[in-house]
Amino acid sequence: MLTNANFISAMTNINKSSPDFQWTNQDVYISYLPLAHVYDRLGCHSLLGKGGSIGFFGGNILKITEDM
């Protein structure tokens, strides 16, 4: 079972283990995976924790460039 503590631990590991890649409040994340997908949730939560923005995929893969 995934808990809030699991997500906080994973977000901390993302931020600590990759010093060359750090989120900032200027970054924008495009969310194209299903919202229930754990990888997408980690991306969204990690970026929101740094004050960034999220763009959500509209559902049509042929229009993903418009979503961006």
CA distance 19 to 59: 33
Task: Give the DSSP letter of residue 24.
Answer: -
Q: What is the pTM of this model?
A: 0.70
Burial class (CB in 10 A: 0-12, 13-18, 19+), 43: buried
**Can you give the pLDDT at residue 5?**
92
Q: Output the six-digit token pair for 12.
A: 């901390």
Residue position matching structure tokens 């990759």: 18
The rounded mean pLDDT for the chain is 84
pLDDT in tens, 14-47: 778 877 778 888 988 888 888 778 888 888 888 8
Domain boundaries, given as residue ranges, for the chain: 27-68
Give the 3-state secondary structure of residue 2.
coil
